Amino acid sequence: MKFLTKIFLVIFATLLITGCGSTENKQKQVALLFPNTNAGGIWKQVGETCEALMRDAGYDATTQFCTDANDQIAQLKEWIAKKPAAIVIAAQDTDVLGETLQGAKTAEIPVIAYDRLIMHTDAISYYASFENNSVGEFQARYVEEKLNLKSGAGPFNIEFIAGSPVDSNAPLFINGAIEYLKPYIDKGQLVVQSGQISFRDIATDGWKKENAQRRMEEILRKYYGDGKSLHVVIASNDDLAEGLINAEAAVGYSGAKTIVTGQDASANGVANIKSGKQAMTIYKDPAILCAKIIRMVKAVVEGSQPAINDVTNIKNDMMTIPSYLCIPIIVDIENINIVKY
């Protein structure tokens, strides 16, 4: 009897040490799929930060960036076949993942949308982002203050540069700004000389600064020659802001200094603010967003409740998605030191 007890204890201890026979000690695999890093931006930093935080939280996280939308679909299919505990995805193209995500749903793999809301699917468990409308509104409020619009100053010339037409965030950003500035446009305090204000006219393929530069060069040549001033450009992120900065240099723009907005507090954006070429940016600390995502991963893995602050407003065409929206921060030369990376 004593001998058997001893054997039993040895086996039990071995199981405890190796973790064999239990899945509890096995790290849960989490796939982190992000857009391409070609257009500059901050996705590389986002991916690196988020993977490190996931690992600290005890998950076996793997980050992948895609080259284009088809590549992301291929990555997603591979992960679905591997059956990870969760897939976190910032869609390269928010319109094309529906069919593939159906596969994740069938395989019962929870999917969490990161930063960009994915359309045409009901396979999303949670969504976390920053308040995307606020991004544009904060840019607009900044301009309102700098130009003293509240006290009736003007007229000032303004142009808009929006993001990619296949990113569901892009219209939210620019509409947030346009809606806020609309009363000033209606009153004639702000004038869009090019007349380009509809999303179709001002969108920028792939969020690429070269594409923004091309469009702004045309506008500058046509409407802002002979020292005529372009006072403000609402650019939806730092890459697009750089497109405008480069366009002004390329055409030899000689009007008043343009107030250019941005978003991301990317390395280039921060450098452009420090050198006075860009007025402001919107800082969306990836560590803050990723912390919310980790809570969501934990929830789908453990069946617990994540932190959610919006259960009604975030909808795609197929479902309402429980979400957490973080608040972005306005950064200009005065507080640029709060940017952590």
Contacts with ligand BGC, residue ranges (CB under 6 A): 41, 115-116, 163, 167, 169, 207, 237, 263-264, 284
CB of 133 to ligand BGC, least distance (A): 12
Find where tokens 């296949």 sit.
166
Residue 167 vs 248, nearer CB to ligand BGC: 167
Helix H segments across 83-168? Answer: 98-106, 132-146
Residue 109 vs 270, nearer CB to ligand BGC: 270
CB of 315 to ligand BGC, least distance (A): 18
Q: Which residues pair with 320 in a beta bridge?
A: 315
Residue 284 vs 292, nearer CB to ligand BGC: 284
The candidate with the shortest Cα–Cα distance to 247, out of 270, 224, 268, 226, is 224
CB of 198 to ligand BGC, least distance (A): 20
| Cβ-contact 104, 126 below 8 angstroms | no
CA 236 to chain centre: 11
CB of 79 to ligand BGC, least distance (A): 21
CB of 207 to ligand BGC, least distance (A): 4
| Cβ-contact 59, 30 below 8 angstroms | yes
| Residue 257 CA: distances (Å) to CA of 111, 153, 229, 245 | 45, 17, 8, 11
CB of 264 to ligand BGC, least distance (A): 5
Residue 132 vs 194, nearer CB to ligand BGC: 132
- Cβ-closest position to ligand BGC: 237
- How many CA atoms does the CB half-sphere of 106 hold within 13 Å? 9
Residue 28 vs 116, nearer CB to ligand BGC: 116
Residue 135 vs 143, nearer CB to ligand BGC: 135
The C-alpha atoms of residue 209 and residue 240 are separated, in whole angstroms, by 5
